[in-house]
Structure 1
Amino acid sequence: MNKNARHVAIILDGNRRFAKRLMLEPWKGHSFGREKVEELMDYAKDLGIREMTFYALSVENIDSRPKLELEFLYKVFRETFRDMDREKMMRKGVRMKFIGDLSLLPSDLRLECVRLEEETSGNSEFVVNIAVAYGGRQELVEAVRRIVDKKVSSGEVCLELVRDNLYLSSEPDMIIRTGGEKRISNFLPFQGAYSEWFFLDKMWPEFEREDLVECLESFKERKRNFGE
């Protein structure tokens, strides 16, 4: 029997399709998605989770999405990060971290991310990683660059060294993808090597506490072999 999942990662898929169902512009779905992230942050710790990673925006999204949609999404990010209840976060020990190539973001949004990270850097009870401007293969390339810059000899290169030079060094116990698709979409290819995957048909804005509880209960029943 497995222990409880302490690190849960989620691919937030289905925002645009959810909005289309409501006869709205596709990008308006990101506002509904934001609300779900905030709800989940409120109750996840009560379920035994100590770290969460949300896949909010990929590097591929930045390259392919219409400018209007990206501008709307950046606006949602700005409002979300700016309006977060700092007092509540400090009281609950929430630490915010951003993983990805933040240089791809508008400068004001990038500064908002850095500010939020710094303000919560002393907290450790509940860690929230936001993967924004993120790509798993790009992360690996950046890790190699960091290692090369340190002039590490080939004999010193090992899995632990690569892990420690990634944007995210911790490994999710389970990864949930909403929206009905069954692919990993360049998300945490190194860290998620032995994660348990759960694919849900629900769109992200439809995700409820009961869905997370069901995944957590199913996780307990799975036998994790870690490649053996």
Structure 2
Amino acid sequence: MKRWFRRRVDAAYERLLSREIAGAPTHVAVIQDGNRRYARRNGGDAHEGHRAGAQTTEQVLEWCQDIGVEELTLYTFSTENFNRPEDEREALYELLCEKLTEFADADRVHDNEVCIQAIGEIDLLPEHVRDAVAYAERRTQEYDQFVLNIALAYGGRSRLLEAARGVARDVDADKIDPGEIDVGTIEQRLYDQPVRDVDLIIRPGGEERTSNFLPWHANGNEAAVFFCTPYWPEFSKADFLRGIRTYEHRKESWRRTRARRALALLGAVSEPELTEAQSIVNRFRDSLPVGERPPGADRELTGVADAGETTSNDDGLDSSSRAAD
């Protein structure tokens, strides 16, 4: 009876959260933490925990597609995982090969046109894992409706270091001028395929740190972060929706901050800057509490609404989805 009641409550909570969500982040990144602790708590070994976690991974992929997320990155095997006992590593390798092959052949992956790609130091992995990665990438390389990034042998700091070394080599060989180095120069060297800026990082398992995960794409985009206590195999749809709600609150907070900053500038800037500030107030005024809105905020300022339209959309995001600052 108690279990039945709990399921009813959980289902009602999921429906409530679903109604509260107005939009989805473009790119969600997940640190799949707690598999081994889940197994130990339930009297099993690490492999059983990882296999249980793989089932959660499949569910999260479906949840992302249901609400309109376009890219999902899974922190699956870090460079630190090479230090784990050999038998645990081998079991992980076998599970990775099994799931990569299964995903690459799954009807739902092809029906939804999911592109699978691996990021990280793939060359450090055993040959049979590299073969499974190549198979999954080859089978889905033509798709572009949804991107599933599998972070394998991954370390964010090591990727940045390797990118910096690549730029330094090109400068030394006179292939690039130092003055031409920009954001795109680094991003082209981080991964073989483009990776969108991260909007939301989710980490279950009770740890409150992002563990060197996608630092360029997450920190540079000021991604929202959602920490929760369930171990990854226990991660539920309600937990997932709470993470999405965290992203929405973070986005709304950003809009309020931008509107307040623009209001503060209105009385102390030159004419060109004043026009831009007024444009920002127009676009974000609904994010401010009524008491903070300036006089006349309910009316469009003549000639101002068009001032910011050429470079930004209504969310204040530029064409690369980064927050305009």
Give the residue type in structure 2 aligned to 1:162: I
Take 2:118 and 2:166, find their aligned partners in 1: how far apart are those partners?
18
What residue number does 1:147 align with?
Answer: 167
Q: TM-score, normalised by structure 1?
A: 0.93
Whether 2:180 is the aligned partner of 1:156: answer: yes
Instruction: Verify the 8 A CA contact 2:39 2:49 in the aligned structure 1.
Output: yes
CA shift, 1:2, in A, is 8.6
Structure 1 position 40, deviation (Å): 1.5
TM-score normalised according to structure 2 size: 0.66
Aligned ranges for residues 70-81 of structure 1 at < 5 Å?
A: 70-81=89-100
- More contact order relative to length (CA 8 Å, sep ≥ 6): 1
Q: What do residues 171-215 of structure 1 show as CA deviations (whole Å, max 9, x unaligned)? A: 110000111111121111111111111111110001111111121
Q: Give the structure 1 partner of residue 71 of structure 2.
A: 51
- After TM superposition, the structure 1 stretch with the greater mean CA deviation from structure 2, 165-174 or 200-209, is 165-174
Q: Match for residue 90 of structure 1?
A: 110
Letter in 2 for 1:129: N
Q: Does residue 196 of structure 2 align to residue 177 of structure 1?
A: no
> Can you list the C-alpha shifts for 1:6-48, whole angstroms capped at 9, x where unaligned?
1100000000000001111133211011111112112311111
Q: Please say if residues 7 and 173 of structure 1, whose CA atoms lie closer than 8 Å, have aligned partners that are also in contact.
A: yes
Runs of 4+ in structure 1 over 6 Å off: none
Which residue among 216, 228, 242 is the counterpart of 1:200? 228
1:2/1:221 contact within 8 Å kept:
no
TM superposition shift of 1:86? 3.6
Name the larger-Rg structure.
2
What corresponds to 2:157 in structure 1?
Answer: 137
Q: Give 5+ residue unaligned stretches, structure 1.
A: none
Paired amino acid for 1:191: H
- Root-mean-square deviation (Å): 1.9
Indicate which of 15, 39, 47 corresponds to 1:27.
47
